[in-house]
Structure formats: C-alpha cells, structure tokens
Structure 1
C-alpha cells in the first residue's frame, strides 16, 4: 500500500471546494437551503478520529517495542486503511465546507442569521482535524528499516527486479 500523497489531498480539497462553492451559488439562486452538513456530523467525525487515534497508538506502541504481545497484522492493516480513509474523507469535507464558507462570507453583511456560515466553518475545521489525524496515524503504521536489513534486503529486491519503495509498509515478524 502506498503512502498518501499530501498534494493529492490538496488537489481533492481544492476541487471539492470549487464544487461546494458553485453548489452553494446554485442552491442560493434557486431558493434552496445551503448544502451544509448538520453539526451532529461533528459527533460522527469525532468518533472516527478517536477510533483512528486509539488504533494508531496501539500500532505505534507495538512498533516502538513497548508491547510484548504480538500485534494482529490484520488489525494493523485495518488501522492503516482507516487512517487513509480518514485523511481522504477529511479532505473532501474540508473542501466542501470551505467552498460553502467562502460563498457565505461574501453575503455576511446581508444576512441577519450567520448560523450556516459558522456551521460550515465548524465542519471544515472537523475535516481538517480528520486530515491531520489520518496523516499522523498513517505515519504510526510505518515500520522503520531494521539495522541489518537495509543492505541485505535491498540487494534481494534488486535481484528480483523490484526496487525498494520509499515509505513502504511492512510486517515486522518478531
């Protein structure tokens, strides 16, 4: 599995921000409500962030040798997938609600109730937290190269025709 490219998250966020901005323009023009998630979505985002952090800390403690018990490799893989999903989802939520916030900001003085603007800002903040936690937990799942493995494994991989990928995730079989 490849590590997340932060530039890809940025491109996704900007693209979805443009979509959110234009969706808000259209819904405002035709008299529909603003397409922002309710604040109860922050609770769900918080549960996902806490679960990702808890699982990531378990992997980190095992990786650093503080746990003597063997880590279930399926759990470690799920943690990595959850971290990456958290980062991608956060990027989409951040972009969408940032686009809505930018559209609502231009109407700030014209509206008496700015609840939608604050709601979009809160959801964008939640998306940013999801991106950060996803990237941090993904780093927790990275196995550092062993001292003796750096030279030996690289030669074996090159003989097979597979150069060693930087940032590769591995299973530590202690």
Structure 2
C-alpha cells in the first residue's frame, strides 16, 4: 500500500473548495440554503478521530516494543486504511467548507455573520484536525528500518505494519 501524498490531499482540498464555492454561489443566489453540514456533524467527526487514534495507538504501542501479544495484521491494515480515509475525508471537508466560507465572506456586508460563516469555520477546523490525525496515524503504521545492517530479508523503511 502506498503512502499518502500531500499533493493529492491539497488537490482534493482545492477541487472541493472550488466545488463548494460554486455550489454555494449558485444555491444562495437562487434562494436556496447554504449547502453546509450541520454543526452536529462535528460530533461524528470527533468520533471518527477518536476511533482512528485508538486503533493507531494500538499499532504504535506494538511497533515501539510492547509486544506481549501478536499484532493482528488485518487490524494493522484496517488501521492504515482508516487513517488514510480520515485524511482524505478531512481534506474534502476542509476544502468544501473553505469554498463556502470564501463565498459567505463576500456576502458579509449584506447579511449578518452568524450562521453559515462561523459554521464553516468550525467545520474547516474539524477537517484540519481530521487530516492531521489521518497523517499522524498513518505514520504510526510505518515499521522502523532494520538496524542489523546485514541486508537480511524483512521489512524495509517505509513499509507498513
């Protein structure tokens, strides 16, 4: 499995931002509501972040030497996939709500700064945290390089647990 590419996360965020901005522009100019997630979605985001961290810490403890029992390789792979999905979802969430924020910022002189503007800021913060946690937990799943120097077969640097 390949490692996350920061460029892909930025590209996803930029494309989602453009889509969010354009969708919000069309929706609000035609009398529809702002297409944002409700603030209660931050609870779901926090739950996903917590689950990702719990599984990531289990893999990290095993990797750092607390090996009183074997690490299930399926659990390690699922943790890696969850971490990468968390990072991608965070970038998507961040980009979408950043696009909406930019459009709402332009309307600040016309309407109050209450609802969609601050909601977008909160959801952008959730997206940032989600992306960072995904990247950190992905790094937990990397195995350290072999230190014996003999070139023995096994895991090399950058491979996953």
Fold match, TM over 0.5? yes
Whether contact under 8 Å (2:94, 2:123) holds in the other structure is yes
Match of 2:158 in 1: 167
More displaced 10-residue stretch of structure 1: 67-76 or 26-35 = 67-76
Q: Residue 36 of structure 1: SS of its match in structure 2?
A: coil
- The correspondence of residues 50-129 of structure 1 with structure 2, limited to 5 A, is 50-129=50-129
Offset of residue 45 of structure 1: 0.3
Following superposition, the deviation at residue 151 of structure 1 comes to: 2.3
Ranges in structure 2 where 5+ consecutive residues have no aligned partner: none
- Answer with 3-12 or 104-113: which moved more: 104-113
Q: CA separation in 1, counterparts of 2:128 and 2:79?
A: 19
Q: Which runs of 5+ in 1 are unaligned?
A: 155-163
1:3-62, Cα deviation, whole Å (9 max, x unpaired): 000111001101110110010100011100000000010000000000000100000000
CA contact (8 A) 2:145 2:158 kept: no
Question: 1:134 aligns to what?
Answer: 134
Q: TM-score, normalised by structure 2?
A: 0.94
The 8 Å contact of residues 87 and 132 in structure 1, kept in 2 or not, is answered as yes
Alignment match, 2:20: 20
Secondary structure of 1:60's match?
helix
The TM-score, its normalising length taken from structure 1, stands at 0.87
Q: CA deviation at 1:68?
A: 1.6
Change (3 A) 1:141 1:29: same
Aligned residues: 161
Alpha-carbon distance in 1 for matches of 2:24, 2:150: 52
User: Once the 2 structures are TM-superposed, how far is the Cα of residue 112 of structure 1 from its aligned partner?
Assistant: 2.6
- Runs of 4+ aligned structure 1 residues displaced above 3 Å come to none
CA RMSD of aligned residues (A): 1.8
For 2:149 and 2:100, the matched residues in 1 are separated by 50
